[in-house]
Every structure is written in structure tokens, then in C-alpha cells.
Amino acid sequence: MASSSVGRRLVACLLNVSEARRKDLVETVAKAALYDTEGVRREGTTVLNIFNDHDYNRSVITIVASIDLIREAVLSACEKACGLIDMRAHAGVHPCMGAVDLIPIYPLGEEVGVEECASQALAVAQGLTERVQGSSAFLFGWADSPLHRGLAQRRKDMGWFKRTPDLLAIRPDMGPLPQKRFGLTGVGASPYVMNCNVTIDSQDMALGRSIALAIRESSAGGLPGVQVLALPHEGAVEIACNVESVKLLPGHMNAAETWPSFSIGGQPYCHAPASLITARVSELAGRQGVSTKSTALVGFTPHECRGLAELALSQGIAEFWKEQRRLRM
């Protein structure tokens, strides 16, 4: 009988791996989070979603478990990924540095603090470099103590945005100098980060970059918490956004009441809704006579992730990604 989800201290790991064109391989990585080497199911763990992008050659696997169980699930998936993915043979339009490119851990409710997620992220980074000889990692967010530098800054420090990063120039936080086979993995913790991608009906990369610049948080009039890249995608340009959760402060923004919000450790957070990002991109593209083609949310909002995790765990569904369409109808 499936156990109740009441009292679970849930966290999510949106594991980014540098492979999408071999979907069976990606599913094998996901299953490694759910089953031990003997094929025995790990209780209290579910994979909610697998998002594959062929052009990016990148997949995002949404693993959810209690804070006490997440480390082993994630490490097992990472071990499998490092055994199956060789960065020397990787090709894709999305920047990446590692076979396992990113391991972010997010709290999914008031019961777990970001500091606890950071502790687990550090344990994952250490465990990865111990279990996979030759792997290396850098830290970001709350795991990067005491500076708490954000992912965008740490990626810039490491040369992630360069087309051909100089691995010999990188000094990882854990492990040896990065090897070409495994590359470099970012490991960290923060309040939830969504991925929202808006495709414009154009192949004009200059237009895409101008839109990305306009909506980026660091720009005047940009959207709080939004980090953006413009990338070629399926014969068009995709405005690929990381949507970070930001502290909800008095007078922070006029639209705060309409932005989805949640609480961690008594501190209210909110995030820019996908509808606002889409509207802003549509407006900027429209000024140049260009329309938008589609918007894709990679995974879920924080509320959706929590709700679906509770549903999956209460019903004992490990491979939820296979069931979610049926269950959400």
C-alpha cells in the first residue's frame, strides 16, 4: 500500500544531463535514481518528468524525494550518466560543460530550508567526485558558502558560456582539473528555478539577443529573477529563460499580488509567471514584425512540482513521467 505524503520533507533536483537524442539512455539514467543496482525500488522517490531537447542535446530529469533520500537517488543517476555519456562525442547548440551539467536542489515547501538543500548539494558534489574518478564540480547558490554566488555568475567564472571552454584554465571547487570525458558539473541549492522557453518565428539571432538583453534581470526594465540566452532552435530562435524565485519584499513590484508566491523558512518568494515572459517577448518581437511560435515550460512551477510529487508518492508511482499525462487530464 502506498504511504501518505503528509509530513514528507520534499525537495526537487532538476538534473541536467548532456544527452537527449538517445532517449533510452536518458531513461536509464532516470531509472538509476529510482532503483538500486539490484533493481529494488527506492521508497519515497519519484521522477516526475523527463524533458528532452534534440537540438540542445540536453535533458532535464525532475527527481523528487525527501531531503534525507535525495542524495543517494541523485548520485546513482549521476554515476549512470557519467558511465554512459562521453563529452568528447557531444554536440548540441546549448552551452554545456559536463556529462552531468547541472545538479540544482530546491526545497518544495516550508518544511525544508535552503540551507538543508545546500548541505545535501555539498554531499552530492563530494560523493560525485569520489564515486566517479576524474569528475569535478563547482558550487553555486547556497552551496557556495559563504559567498552564495548565483548560477549565472559561477557559470561565467567557469567559462560555461564560451563555445569551447578551456578546461585547463578552470579551477573546480571539488575534484581534479576537469577531464574531457566528464567535463565539469555545477552543483548547488536555491529557491526553485523554472525554465521557460519562448520561440520567436525568426532566424535572426541579433533580434533574439536584443530580446534576451531587454528582459534579463540585469537590464533596466528587465524582469526580476530572469536569466536569458537566445539560441537557434528548430529553424527559429528560442529565448531560453531561467526563472529564479526572488524574495517578495514590500513594494518590490507592482505586480507582486499576481505573481505566484510560496514560502521557505517563513520568507515569502515569488517568480515571474510564464505568461508575463511570453507577453514581454511577444511585445518586443512584435515591434520588429515578428510573432511568437510557442512557449514551453520545462518541467513545472514550484506549486505544480509539489502537488504532483505528493500525488506520485501517495500513489507509489516511481516512473511518474510515463503516467503524468493520464493523471493530469
* Per-position pLDDT tens, the chain of length 329: 344 444 589 999 999 999 999 999 999 999 999 999 999 999 999 999 999 999 999 999 999 999 999 999 999 999 999 999 999 999 988 989 999 999 999 999 889 999 999 999 999 999 999 999 999 999 999 999 999 999 999 999 998 888 777 888 899 999 999 999 999 999 999 999 999 999 999 999 999 999 999 999 999 999 999 999 999 999 999 999 999 999 876 555 555 457 888 888 888 899 999 999 999 999 999 999 999 999 988 889 999 999 999 999 999 999 999 987 666 54
pTM of the predicted structure, to 2 decimals: 0.93
The reply to whether 72 falls in a domain is yes
Domain at 215, CATH number:
3.30.70.670
Domain at 315, CATH number:
3.30.990.10
Q: Any idea which residue has 537517488 for its cell?
A: 73
Residues 14 and 156 in one domain: yes
The reply to whether 1 falls in a domain is no
Helices (H), the chain: 23-34, 70-84, 114-131, 151-158, 205-215, 274-286, 302-314, 324-328
Residues 40 and 169 in one domain: yes
CB-based burial of residue 45 (10 Å sphere; 0-12 exposed, 13-18 middle, 19+ buried)?
A: buried
The residue segments making up the domain with residue 269 are 193-298
Residues 136 and 237 in one domain: no
Residues 143 and 200 in one domain: no
The reply to whether 282 falls in a domain is yes
Residues 225 and 321 in one domain: no
Distance CA 318, CA 80 (A): 18
Residues 54 and 167 in one domain: yes
Residues 123 and 208 in one domain: no
Give the per-residue SS3 of 133-191.
CCCCEEEEECCCCCCCCCHHHHHHHHCCCCCCCCHHHCCCCECCCCECCCECEEEEECC
By three-state DSSP, how is residue 298 classified? strand
Q: How many domains does the chain divide into? A: 2
